Amino acid sequence: SKGIIIAIDGPAAAGKSTIAKRIAQKLGYTYIDTGAMYRALTHKAIQSNINMGSDKDLADLLKHTEIVLVPEENGQAVWIDGVDCSEEIRSQEVTANVSEVAAHSTVRHLMVEKQRELAEGTGVVMDGRDIGTAVLPKAELKVFMTASVDERAERRFVENEKRGIHIPLAQLKEEIEKRDRADSERELSPLKMADDAILVDTTSMSIEEVANQVIMLAEKRM
C-alpha cells in the first residue's frame, strides 16, 4: 500500500521535526516540515521589505516565490527561488516574525493547499501546528507532541550551542513562550490538540524512545 498519513503537531521546539524525520526515514515516507514553509515566506518578506502586517502583500509575494522542500539524507533542505536557504530560515529575525506572517488568512490558505498537494498519493509524516486539526484532518495517526517549556528551551539551547549560536537560555525560553502564545491565540487554525490526537509528553523521554513510541502507534494503523 502507499502508506498512511501521520500528523505531528505541538508547540515550538518540542522535537517534532527531529522525530518526524526519523519516522519518515524508518518507514520510507515523505517528510514535510510545514513550519519551514512559513519560515521561507517570512525570510523572503524580510529580504523584500514586505509589510508583514499585510495579508495581501504577503500572498502576492508567496505567489511569486518558489519554495521547495528538498529531501536529504538526514532531513530536508529548503530552497527559495533556486537558492538553498536552510540556514537562513532558522535565524532569530525569521523566528521573531514568523508567527505574524502565519496568522494571515490568504497566506494560510495558499500554504495549506500546497501542503495537501505534497501529501497526495504517498505515505507522509507532516509536522506543524494545524496538521491534525486543519490540513489533514483524516490522518490515520495524529500525535500532539509536547514537553515542558524549560525542557524545550534547554534542548534549543544545546542545539544552538552545537551550531555555534550563543543565545542565553532565559531569552530562548521567553521567545518560545511568546511564539506559543501567538500561535495558540490566533483566530485561524490555532495551535490546538485535535480531539482524536494522542498526547506524547517528551519531557523525560529520549529521541529514541519517542520515535519508537510513534512508530508503534503508526504500525497499529497500517
Strand partners, 84: 79
Q: Name the minimum Å distance from CB 130 to ligand C5P.
A: 5
Q: Among residue numbers 118 through 137, which ones bind ligand C5P (CB under 6 A)?
A: 128-131
Binding residue (CB under 6 A) for ligand C5P from 45, 102, 119, 176: 102
The Cα–Cα gap between 46 and 120 comes to 31
The Cα–Cα gap between 199 and 53 comes to 33
Instruction: Check binding of 10 to ligand C5P (CB under 6 A).
Output: no
Annotate 153-181 with b (16+ C-beta within 10 A) or e (fewer): bbbbbeeeeeeeeeeeeeebbebbeebbe
Q: Name the minimum Å distance from CB 200 to ligand C5P.
A: 16
11 annotated to a ligand binding site: yes
- Would you give the binding string for ligand C5P spanning residues 163-202, x where CB under 6 A is met? ----------------x---x-------------------
Q: Which is nearer to ligand C5P, 88 or 130 (CB)?
A: 130
Instruction: Check binding of 155 to ligand C5P (CB under 6 A).
Output: no
The Cα–Cα gap between 142 and 196 comes to 7
Instruction: Check binding of 88 to ligand C5P (CB under 6 A).
Output: no
Beta strand spans in 87-187 (E): 124-128, 141-146
Cβ neighbors of 60 (< 8 A, separation 6 or more) are: none
Q: Name the minimum Å distance from CB 217 to ligand C5P.
A: 20
Give first-to-last CA distance, the chain, whole Å.
9
Binding residue (CB under 6 A) for ligand C5P from 20, 62, 85, 98: 98
DSSP state of 134: I
Instruction: Check binding of 21 to ligand C5P (CB under 6 A).
Output: no
Burial of 35 (0-12, 13-18, 19+ CB in 10 A): middle
Annotated binding site for ATP: 10-18
Footprint on this chain of ligand C5P (rule: CB under 6 A): 12, 34-35, 38-39, 98-99, 102, 128-131, 179, 183
